[in-house]
């Protein structure tokens, strides 16, 4: 199942100075805020963006209490190349019983639609990589 995507766009270039970023040359705030709004417009509700030292994420919960992070960041060394991937979270201690990626299909389908509909997003490449999973 395709759960990661790389693409290029100048839409999400950081507008705040470098010392305002999560970490030096780690970007994604503009992208995740944009995605949370676009996903909501398609009826897919997430949390507001949160940050980690590697980038940004949106939390997504299913009706069956599965939890996922949609993780987003720039590709290292670039401010116009981006990576988003699904990170299924564990239901039990010590990482046991992670949520199944298939249960996040509404989120992934909406993400595919959003990215493909935006003319300023190019070179979209989907993959099955499991970053951080």
**Helices marked H in the chain:** 29-41, 105-117
- Which of 5-14, 76-85, 89-98 is least confident? 89-98
Q: Rounded CA gap, 28 and 36, in Å?
A: 12
Residue 132 domain flag: no
Give yes or no for residue 132 having a pLDDT over 60. Answer: no
Residue 94: predicted pLDDT? 66
The predicted model scores a pTM of 0.91
Q: Rounded CA gap, 64 and 114, in Å?
A: 25
Residue 8 domain flag: yes
Strand 67-74 versus strand 55-61 pairing type: antiparallel
Residue 112 domain flag: yes
Residue 133 domain flag: no
Residue 42 domain flag: yes
Please count the structural domains in the chain.
Answer: 1
CA 100 to mean position of chain CA atoms: 17
Residue 11 domain flag: yes
Residue 40 neighbours by CB under 8 Å, 6+ apart: 46
pLDDT tens digits, residue range 9-53?
999 999 888 888 888 889 999 999 999 999 999 999 999 999 999
Residue 117 domain flag: yes
Give yes or no for residue 129 having a pLDDT over 80. Answer: no
Residue 88 domain flag: yes
Q: How many CB atoms lie within 10 A of CB 114?
A: 18
Q: Which domain holds residue 40?
A: 4-127
Q: Which of 128, 121, 101, 123 is nearest to 38 (CA)?
A: 121
């Amino acid at each position: 199942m395709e759960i990661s995507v790389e693409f290029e766009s100048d839409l999400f270039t950081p507008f705040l100075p470098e010392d305002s970023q999560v970490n030096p040359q780690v970007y994604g705030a503009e992208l995740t805020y944009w995605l949370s709004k676009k996903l909501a417009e398609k009826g897919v509700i997430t949390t507001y963006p949160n940050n980690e030292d590697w980038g940004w994420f949106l939390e997504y919960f299913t009706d069956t209490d599965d939890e996922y992070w949609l993780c987003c960041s720039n590709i290292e060394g670039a401010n116009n190349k981006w990576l988003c991937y699904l990170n299924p979270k564990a239901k039990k201690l010590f990482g046991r019983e992670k949520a199944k990626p298939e249960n996040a299909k509404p989120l992934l389908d909406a993400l595919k639609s959003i990215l493909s509909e935006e003319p300023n997003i190019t070179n979209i490449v989907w993959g099955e990589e499991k970053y951080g999973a």
